[in-house]
Amino acid sequence: MSQPLKIGITCYPSLGGSGVVATELGKLLAEKGHEVHFISHSVPFRLGAFHKNIYYHEVEVNDYYVFRYPPYDLSLATKMAQVVKQEKLDVLHVHYAVPHAVCAFLAKQMVGDNLKVVTTLHGTDITVLAQDESLKDLIRLAINESDAVTSVSQDLTRETQELLDITRGIDLTYNFVDERFYYPRDVSELRKEFASPDEKIMMHVSNFRPVKRVKDVVDVFARVSKEIPARLLFVGEGPDLPKIQCQIREMGLEEKVRFLGKQDEIAQIISMADVLMLPSEKESFGLVALEAMACGIPTIGSMAGGIPELVKHGETGYLAPIGDTAAMADFALQLLHDDALAAKMREACISRAKTQFNSDKITKQYEQIYYRVLQAE
Ligand code: GMT
């Protein structure tokens, strides 16, 4: 290995895919001999037990009476600068431009240009925040002042360049899953708890934000379950959950639908599914579809954002235009009716996850980016 690095990582420690990817990347970098320092307001939820080479620095927010709102961003920037100086960090890798890349920019002003900042764009900072004119200049500054910027899909890169008029280079670094946890497995015993042998299982895993279009999942399921015996399992929680529960009751589907809430053992649970549903309005990547793919489960979803770069239509799942639930239901029925097709897709999923979204390959891409920015002068 080239010279081991000291890397600071900041992410939303409790937030979905970006937090998962940032934490898993930190763990893999630490296993490769780098020293990794997480800097955030709480311990990243996937960090787990003690790991050699991994340190955690908590950001405490000062709540002085002069502040109407406690300034987390300023506390984070200060903490970043302190940790960089104290631990002699080479690189700060921040996940999300807002506020993390902005904080890293401030930290760099405090400690000097030797500190290199790598920013990974995950989607919401661009697809939601960059639509707000009042935030555009700030996001553009954060992106342009980073020493390297990575994006989790080509579609997100394109959208970033178009919306913010960005011309600088953006590296493509797809998300990955840790193959030691996400692999095909036999969960027939667990499956018996949720479905009888003749029933198919459709599953949706998300944070139930409006952007996930969970109502489309219900619509697709209603169409499918009219034709074949099927069950729908929901995993996760979020703002649209009560609305969905109401929709399920109104449609008389309660008997066929289960809500499992937030779960940690996603690989185990996802492996029960015959198909994963991801009909999002926006999705820069769709990490859950990769988690499913690595376990051999195809996805039926929308053509939004980066989903088509991940799910190969007709090979590892099926994609339809956003909101076209009739087409999604037709695809689901085609797949669920045909065991030979399902077996073929399962193999294609396992192989695609291993070759295209391999954790070792993607960790190496990030390492190369760190070495590149450190040799930039
Ligand atoms: O989608 C979410 O609600 C969570 C958000 C996050 O910060 O984890 O997900 C974004 O980043 C993930 C990891 O790169 C991507 O897989 C998701 O597609 C992306 N979400 C959106 O673009 C809406």
Q: How many CB atoms lie within 10 A of CB 272?
A: 20
Q: Give, using CA atoms, the residue closest to atom 9 of ligand 1.
A: 17
Task: Give yes or no for a contact between 32 and 363, defined as CB atoms under 8 angstroms apart.
Answer: yes
Please indicate, yes or no, whether residues 45 and 161 belong to a single structural domain of this protein: yes
Answer whether residue 212 is part of any domain.
yes
Answer whether residue 182 is part of any domain.
no
Instruction: Give pLDDT, residue 1.
Output: 58
Q: How many CB atoms lie within 10 A of CB 363?
A: 20
Atom of ligand 1 nearest to the CA of 306: 18
Question: How far is Cα 10 from Cα 122, in angstroms, rounded to an integer?
Answer: 13
Cβ of 92 closer than 6 Å to ligand 1, yes or no, is no
Please indicate, yes or no, whether residues 30 and 110 belong to a single structural domain of this protein: yes
CATH of residue 273's domain is 3.40.50.2000
Cβ of 301 closer than 6 Å to ligand 1, yes or no, is no
Cβ of 18 closer than 6 Å to ligand 1, yes or no, is yes
Atom of ligand 1 nearest to the CA of 207: 3
Atom of ligand 1 nearest to the CA of 17: 8
Please indicate, yes or no, whether residues 42 and 140 belong to a single structural domain of this protein: yes
287 CA → ligand 1 middle, Å: 7
Question: How far is Cα 156 from Cα 169, in angstroms, rounded to an integer?
Answer: 13
Fill in the DSSP letter of residue 363: H
Mention every residue, 6+ apart, whose C-beta is less than 8 A from residue 86.
none
Answer whether residue 263 is part of any domain.
yes
Cβ of 123 closer than 6 Å to ligand 1, yes or no, is yes
Atom of ligand 1 nearest to the CA of 290: 16
Answer whether residue 238 is part of any domain.
yes
Please indicate, yes or no, whether residues 370 and 224 belong to a single structural domain of this protein: no
Task: Give yes or no for a contact between 140 and 166, defined as CB atoms under 8 angstroms apart.
Answer: yes
Please indicate, yes or no, whether residues 298 and 368 belong to a single structural domain of this protein: no
Cβ of 13 closer than 6 Å to ligand 1, yes or no, is no
pLDDT tens for the 377 residues of the chain, in order: 579 999 999 999 876 899 999 999 999 999 999 999 999 998 887 787 778 899 999 999 877 778 788 889 999 999 999 999 999 999 999 999 989 999 999 999 999 989 999 999 998 878 766 678 888 999 999 999 999 999 999 999 999 999 999 999 999 999 999 999 999 999 999 999 999 999 999 999 999 999 999 999 999 999 999 999 999 999 999 999 999 999 999 999 999 999 999 998 899 999 999 999 999 999 999 999 999 999 999 999 999 999 999 999 999 999 999 999 999 999 999 999 999 999 999 999 999 999 999 999 999 999 999 999 999 64
Answer whether residue 48 is part of any domain.
yes
3 CA → ligand 1 middle, Å: 32
Please indicate, yes or no, whether residues 350 and 368 belong to a single structural domain of this protein: no
Please indicate, yes or no, whether residues 122 and 231 belong to a single structural domain of this protein: no
Task: Give yes or no for a contact between 212 and 239, defined as CB atoms under 8 angstroms apart.
Answer: no
Answer whether residue 181 is part of any domain.
no
Answer whether residue 278 is part of any domain.
yes
Q: Which ipTM score applies to this complex?
A: 0.98
Please indicate, yes or no, whether residues 212 and 158 belong to a single structural domain of this protein: no
Instruction: Give pLDDT, residue 46.
Output: 78
Answer whether residue 79 is part of any domain.
yes
Mention every residue, 6+ apart, whose C-beta is less than 8 A from residue 23.
9, 11, 13, 38, 44, 45, 46, 47
Please indicate, yes or no, whether residues 246 and 290 belong to a single structural domain of this protein: yes
Instruction: Give pLDDT, residue 330.
Output: 98
95 CA → ligand 1 middle, Å: 11
Residue 193's domain comprises: 188-356
Task: Give yes or no for a contact between 281 and 322, defined as CB atoms under 8 angstroms apart.
Answer: yes
Please indicate, yes or no, whether residues 14 and 146 belong to a single structural domain of this protein: yes
Instruction: Give pLDDT, residue 125.
Output: 77
Cβ of 45 closer than 6 Å to ligand 1, yes or no, is no
**Number of domains the chain contains:** 2
Please indicate, yes or no, whether residues 70 and 219 belong to a single structural domain of this protein: no
Mutate to test the pocket of ligand 1, among 125, 211, 287 (most ligand atoms within 8 A of CB): 287
Instruction: Give pLDDT, residue 376.
Output: 60
Please indicate, yes or no, whether residues 332 and 210 belong to a single structural domain of this protein: yes
